[in-house]
Amino acid sequence: MYTCGQVLPGESWFAHVMVVEPCGKGKDQGGVLARCEQFESRPSLQGSPLIVIRVSLLFAALLFAASPARSQISPGPLSKAHESLSGTTQCASCHQFGTSTPTFKCLECHKEIAGRLAAKHGYHYQIQMRNPNGKDCVRCHLEHNGENFNLLHWEPSQKQFDHRLTGYNLEGKHAQTACEKCHSPMYMVGPERSLIKMKDLSKSFFGLSQDCVPCHKDPHKGQLGNNCLQCHNFTDWKAAKQFDHSKTRYPLTGQHMQVACEKCHKPDRPGGPARYKDMKFSACIDCHVDPHKGSFKQRCEDCHTTAGWKKLLPKFEFDHSKTKYPLLGKHATVSCTQCHLNGDFKKPLPFTNCVDCHKPDPHKGQFAARPKKGECAECHTVEGWKPSLFGVKEHATSKYPLEGKHAKVDCDKCHLPAGKDTIYKVKFAACSDCHKDPHDGQFAKQPFQNRCESCHTVADFHRSLFTIAKHKQSKFPLAGAHVTVSCVECHKVGAGGRTDKIIPFYFKDMTCTACHNDVHHGEFKDRMERRRPDGTQFGCEACHNTRSWVDVAGFDHSKTKFPLLGVHRAVACNACHKPLPGEKQIQFKETPMACEACHVDVHGKQFAKAQKTECSTCHNSQRWKPSTFDHSKTKFPLEGGHKGVACDKCHSLTKVVDGKPVLFYKPTPLQCEACHGSEKKG
């Protein structure tokens, strides 16, 4: 048995009694195989479509007559929520008959919803439920579908449900609160709670007030009214940022604005609520204890302001200059109670010496042996404790006069604190008493014994007194070009095998290659490792000297496979010793000794044998010209007048080789007429 849940105009309720088979539409809503329609699904109803079946009176009557055994008067059983209204005598409790449109009395029973609609707030109002005859009710809550049919077709979820539909937007920390924390019977307002028909109030979402107090306890116990939002917000309760103290009877000014609320608004009794009403504030002593203990008859505000206790008003009439101790310098800014302890202004105070007030001696008697026995005024004034009057000039009277750069050093660079006290009597016999040894003990032995003054002065640490003359007394006397080299070129971080940041001054290896790279890359290793009579290696000095690197007088070319003869002796080394193709390193060994390796064959290879031209057959190293070629060994010995003839007079054949004209000596005709011509006979 199924019901449509809606009565159409001109039909009575019993016209909807029918026996049909399920149609498959709307499984949970009881769809049937009859002329059925589906209501428009509204977004606010959580996406639950409702199946409505419209059956004409005639069709219903036929069904009723055809199956009398399976019919009944009621459209269907009610849900458990409405089971008390079951029976034909209870129909009028929900339905109103005789109207032109279907009318339901839902709101007559559910007054909690009617009240919300009348007040124009709440979820049902926000989803635009306006129809007073209950038509909007049955569009969501469908009855006569059996006792197990759920009238509510949605499950509230904090993540999915838009709480703005209730008319109460969740802000700040409310947005993070679980639904059941607020929607609880304990927070329901009495008048609304009594209207709720649901037996299990924990499942109802009605009955809550939008005011703070029903859910939150009022810590102010009603002193400030019930509108919490006039002082607080939903994000930070304790800040009370909305509260404006300037609108109260006691506006906060000066340093009062920085005082925490609880400092003034204290409970009347321990554990009681903070007090906000009926507080005394007409006089300062209502909150503050009189530090002067009645010594002054004026009101506090005659001398002081809320801007600061120590800042006195101009009208403060007490003139300290008329006392035995006029206030000068920094003393004029000192609070009265700093000297007049406990606010007692009548008690005489000693002031002959600074230590009468300033105790204990901050220097712990370090200056007690001075002429004035350490009186503060000897170094300081009332204008300020710092800077001290004990300057460079006064320091000259001490055992350690300040000279050079020491005169510019701040006092606290030498007179360091030891705990809470500054030490003024310091050691100064040696520089290392104050300065860390930057040389890592390299000069700890004789003859220096870490005496910095052997090389340095207080005028300038970086300008050393260690001259070239002194360097000659070391194991490495400076000579030649080494004399012009600056100290930092050799004595630099990372040199001498050190891996730290200490500059080396002692070198275990004093050979050339300890400082200089071997530009020959080991080609002369054997020569460099040869030793002198004293056992030291020659190193680079096997060929070079400290006067000039290019001076290689130490190298004897005559002892090589290619002694330098003739014009070869005037040729620069790099004219023959050049880097190999594609390399930067100059080649010394394996340098080719053939003429054509250095010289271009000017004869265009006409005298080459097996791709090699023996220049020495006609020339020598003394000079290129004249040639030493012996013409007598040829097929045309030069005799007679031919001896003085220049070569090119006979050898005139010229060919272009590699773009240059080259004189060719072969073939040359041997006949006389080839050069001299022939005489014709008459």
Is the separation of the CB atoms in 69 and 49 below 8 Å?
Answer: no
Q: Any idea how long the chain is?
A: 682
Distance CA 414, CA 580 (A): 63
- Residue 501 or 17, more confident: 501
Asked whether residue 274 carries a pLDDT value surpassing 50, the answer given is yes
Asked whether residue 53 carries a pLDDT value surpassing 70, the answer given is no
Span 346-366, mean pLDDT? 86
Predicted confidence at residue 21, as pLDDT, reads 35
pLDDT band per the 50, 70, 90 thresholds, residue 587: confident
Half-sphere exposure at residue 621, Cβ-oriented, CA atoms within 13 angstroms: 14
From 5-19, 184-198, 407-421, the region with the lowest mean pLDDT: 5-19
Residue 678 lies in a domain: yes
Angle at 463 between CA 461 and CA 465, to 5 degrees: 100
Residue 166 lies in a domain: no
H/E element holding 118? helix 111-119
What letter represents residue 267's amino acid?
P
Span 317-346, mean pLDDT? 84
Sign of CA dihedral 356, 360, 363, 364: positive
Q: Of 103, 98, 119, 125, whose CA–CA distance to 44 is shortest?
A: 125
Predicted confidence at residue 51, as pLDDT, reads 32
- Structural tokens at position 448: 């220096």
Predicted confidence at residue 680, as pLDDT, reads 56
Span 50-67, mean pLDDT? 36
Predicted confidence at residue 156, as pLDDT, reads 64
Asked whether residue 543 carries a pLDDT value surpassing 80, the answer given is yes
**Final residue of a structural domain among 298, 322, 349:** 349
H/E element holding 308? strand 308-312
pLDDT band per the 50, 70, 90 thresholds, residue 402: very high
pLDDT in tens, 296-310: 777 888 888 898 887
Residue 493 lies in a domain: no
Residue 190 lies in a domain: no
What letter represents residue 357's amino acid?
C
Predicted confidence at residue 438, as pLDDT, reads 93
* Residue 201 burial (CB count, 10 A): 15
DSSP 447: T
Strand partners, 645: none
pLDDT band per the 50, 70, 90 thresholds, residue 118: confident
Is the separation of the CB atoms in 357 and 363 below 8 Å?
Answer: no
Residue 67 lies in a domain: yes
Asked whether residue 404 carries a pLDDT value surpassing 90, the answer given is yes
pLDDT band per the 50, 70, 90 thresholds, residue 11: very low
Residue 253 lies in a domain: no
Distances (CA, A) of 35 to 4, 50, 62, 203, 309: 11, 15, 15, 37, 91
Span 374-395, mean pLDDT? 88
Q: What are phi and psi of 311, to 5 degrees?
A: -90, 110
**521 CB contacts (<8 Å, ≥6 apart)?**
585
Predicted confidence at residue 315, as pLDDT, reads 66
- Residue 636 or 313, more confident: 636
From 220-224, 400-404, 650-654, the region with the lowest mean pLDDT: 220-224
For residue 302, the enclosing domain spans 285-349
Predicted confidence at residue 352, as pLDDT, reads 87
- Structural tokens at position 427: 């050691």
Number of domains in the chain: 3
Residue 69 lies in a domain: yes
- Structural tokens at position 597: 């390796």
What mean pLDDT, rounded, does the chain reach? 81
- Residue 142 or 419, more confident: 142
Asked whether residue 566 carries a pLDDT value surpassing 50, the answer given is yes
pLDDT in tens, 525-538: 888 888 888 888 88
pLDDT > 90 fraction of the chain, expressed in percent and rounded: 15
- Structural tokens at position 558: 């005559």
Pairing of strands 95-96, 51-53: unpaired
Helix (H, G, I), strand (E, B) or coil at 460: strand
**Final residue of a structural domain among 314, 332, 349:** 349
Q: Of 652, 672, 649, whose CA–CA distance to 661 is shortest?
A: 652
pLDDT in tens, 467-519: 999 999 888 999 999 999 999 999 999 998 899 999 999 998 888 888 888 88
Asked whether residue 522 carries a pLDDT value surpassing 80, the answer given is yes
Asked whether residue 450 carries a pLDDT value surpassing 60, the answer given is yes
Helix (H, G, I), strand (E, B) or coil at 22: strand
Predicted confidence at residue 34, as pLDDT, reads 32
Pairing of strands 421-422, 417-418: antiparallel
pLDDT > 70 fraction of the chain, expressed in percent and rounded: 87
Distance CA 109, CA 94 (A): 9
Q: Of 292, 295, 297, 394, whose CA–CA distance to 335 is shortest?
A: 292
Distance CA 129, CA 125 (A): 5
- Residue 112 or 22, more confident: 112
Residue 549 lies in a domain: no
DSSP 561: S
From 28-37, 246-255, 264-273, 589-598, the region with the lowest mean pLDDT: 28-37
**Final residue of a structural domain among 349, 378, 400:** 349
